[in-house]
Amino acid sequence: MWNNLKKIAWNWRGVVFTVPSATGLILAIRLLGWLQPLEWTTLDLFFRLRPLEPTDERIVIVGMEEKDIQKLKQWPISDRDLARLIEKIKAQKPRVIGLDIYRDIPVEPGHEELIEVFKTTPNLIGIEKVIGDQFYSTIDPPPVLEKLGQISSSDLILDGDGVLRRAFLFPMAPGKESLPSLGLAVALKYLEKDKIVPVASDDGGWMKLGKTVFYPFNSNDGGYRNADAGGYQTLLNYRGSAQSFQKISFTDVLEGNFEPNLMRDRIVLIGSQATSIKDYFSTPHSQSLSITPALTFGVEIQANLASQILSTVLNNRPLIKVLPDYLEDLWIALWVVVPAIWAWKWRKTKNLLKLCVAILIGTSVAIALLIGISYVAFLNSWWLPLAPTLLALGCSSVLVTNFVYISQLQEYNLYLEHEVESRIQDLRETYRELKAAQDKILVKEKLAALGTLVAGVSHELKNPLHFIQNFASLSVNLANELRETISDRDRCCEIEVLDNINEISSNLSENLVEIKDHSKRANAIVQTMLPHPDGVTSERTPTDINALLDSAIKLVLYSQQGKYTNFPIHLEKNYDRSIPQIELFDRELSRSLINILDNAYYAVYQKAQLVEGFRPLILVETENLKESVKIVIRDNGAGIPEDIIDKIFDPFFTTKPQREGTGLGLSIAHDLIVNKNRGAIELDTQIGSYTKFVILLQKNQ
């Protein structure tokens, strides 16, 4: 199983390398927060691309516009005018009124009138700024509304790029009681009529309205990394750009210029919509490169929050949802795998342009599919990590493309190396064949010349031998006739002379028989050593290896004793008598054995000249092996130097003095044993100790 896994890993090594590398790189960059601006930008883009939702009829905004300030000639608006405004709105019988204007100090004239309106308007909710920082201090609520418990928070939270994407449900400041934000407060007041009140959820005690649990924002939700998640926050699901709610100006309300039932049973939010007051913010709908950004006023932010809560609870409009961190990581890894597999499948493409086009097309399709899936998911209120996934996908494509290209270069390099090695091997083989052919031609040429010479010598030797045999036979016959003639005593000499003649004739006959036998043996030896003068090639014949060795030994001893007189040599023979006859070229093998024995004799003779008291020894052994016959010829001569061992079987290579050797003996022996008789010959030697030749002859040839 492990081997199969290693094989699969190797076959898909590009994917195995790319996926962890690209995924790890993007996740590390994302963890550092470097991709946060890109993720915010994609979220903003999806908000702008999403179809606008219908106006939420449950909310009406009464806004203080620039024309109202010009007409009233005052900002902040006086307490009297504010009291009149609230009274006009109360007459419409709204379900709840949210006052998104600070009223911590009196603005005369009419302060007492405003206090009375506050006391008599139980569905009115004011604001205070709960959280202070180095830029903005806290702002107290209207004292009367604080005593009545009709206070909410106006605090908002901006992202690092100045865009408002989150909202407080409950901002929390040290030492202060937790207050709902204005948007949440008016929504809760609105839902009281429907008998929907907040309760704690079973899975953590979070705020639950109806069937909806409002889970708090976490610091790593969606594209955020290490964001400030203080308080109880939620992601804002904007209904659309600014101007998404019914609006009416201050002066129109004061003058009664609106429909009679415009505010009945609705949420009415009172706030600033004048740019000079600077109560506006950047939202996802404000981010546009083509037109001047449309800013969203604070009262509209609270309206969006209230609408989000009401729509979620009453209309099942989903909140913005995000995946858990581990699922986001898996989602990114999945889109790393897709282009990696696609690109790796094209790794066998040799055409680089075709490879790049195929990978580019696959990557483009994957990008389009990823964007499409992410956008459809956002339409269903899921915020998927698009920016890091796109980067991971692109990184995967680049890495696997480079890996494929590098793999192709490596494979091509290996192919070239293999081809070069193959060509080198072919050249080496060709060289060996040429060298072998050259050696064969050289040996054949030399052997041909030697054969011609030997044929002539053979012919010249055979003629005297024939004469010796013929005259020996004739002499035997004459000796026999002489004995027959003198056998008749009456016709011959005296008895003593006759006996002497008979003894001499008997000795003569015996000598002639010996001469005839030895001449036949000499003729046989010549026939064995030399080719027939008529050029007829020999054939395989059943051969007794031990007998053949004996014949070769005797010939060498006779010839060497005639050459080196008074040189006694000790010869040991250890024959395996179980060796059967085997078919081989006996003449060629005999020549080979004679050449090897001759060299052994010469080696011990040379050592004897140098070492006093040396006892020359030649050992000849045979052994019957399972499939072959082994012949060992060992001498205790001076051995062969290591630097010439490789040359010992080369033609015309010799260590003998000039005119004492031709350098053909061992070369011919090697050729006749290995090539002619399909055997093997090995050399083992040690300087100063011995030289051993081992011959192996196959039984079945």
Output the CA torsion 356→359→364→365 (10° steps). 150
Domain boundaries, the chain: 33-322, 324-429, 538-701
Average pLDDT, the chain: 83
Q: Kindly tell me if the per-residue pLDDT of 433 is higher than 80.
A: yes
Round to whole Å and give the CA distance between 471 and 463.
12
Amino acid at 691: T
pLDDT band with cut points at 50, 70 and 90 for residue 650:
confident
- The reported pLDDT for the residue numbered 531 is 44
Which residues does 587 contact at the CB level (< 8 Å), separation at least 6?
A: 527, 528, 529, 531, 538
pLDDT band with cut points at 50, 70 and 90 for residue 676:
confident
- The reported pLDDT for the residue numbered 250 is 93
Residue with the larger pLDDT of the pair 84 and 598: 84
Round to whole Å and give the CA distance between 638 and 635.
9
For residues 27-49, one letter each, b for 16 or more C-beta atoms within 10 angstroms of the residue's C-beta and e for the rest, the string is beebeebebbebbbbbbbbbbee
> In angstroms, how far apart are the furthest CA atoms of the chain?
202
- The reported pLDDT for the residue numbered 574 is 93
Over residues 261-269, mean pLDDT? 95
Strand ranges across the sheet with 212-213: 199-200, 207-209, 212-213
Please calculate the CA angle 453-683-564 and round it to the nearest 5 degrees: 55
Burial class (CB in 10 A: 0-12, 13-18, 19+), 544: middle
Q: Kindly tell me if the per-residue pLDDT of 471 is higher than 80.
A: no
Round to whole Å and give the CA distance between 445 and 450.
8
631, 617 Cβ separation under 8 angstroms: no
Residue with the larger pLDDT of the pair 1 and 670: 670
Please calculate the CA angle 318-324-330 and round it to the nearest 5 degrees: 120
**Which residue stretches of 56-165 are H helix?**
66-72, 79-90, 111-119, 143-148
Q: Provide the token pair at 208.
A: 């639950």
Round to whole Å and give the CA distance between 102 and 693.
119
631, 622 Cβ separation under 8 angstroms: yes
3-state helix, strand, coil in the chain (%, to 5): 50, 15, 35
Q: Kindly tell me if the per-residue pLDDT of 342 is higher than 50.
A: yes
> Which of helix, strand or coil describes residue 166?
strand
Over residues 260-286, mean pLDDT? 91
Round to whole Å and give the CA distance between 319 and 197.
19
pLDDT band with cut points at 50, 70 and 90 for residue 233:
very high
* Domain spanning 538-701, CATH class: alpha beta
- Single out the residue of 398, 644, 409, 673 nearest to residue 545, CA to CA: 673
511-531: per-residue pLDDT in tens? 666 676 666 656 555 554 544
Round to whole Å and give the CA distance between 582 and 580.
6
Beta strand 151-153 with 124-128: parallel, antiparallel or unpaired? parallel
> Which of helix, strand or coil describes residue 569?
coil
Round to whole Å and give the CA distance between 16 and 26.
16
Q: Kindly tell me if the per-residue pLDDT of 196 is higher than 90.
A: yes
On whether the pTM is more than 0.85, the answer is no
Q: Provide the token pair at 260.
A: 């009679």
95, 266 Cβ separation under 8 angstroms: yes
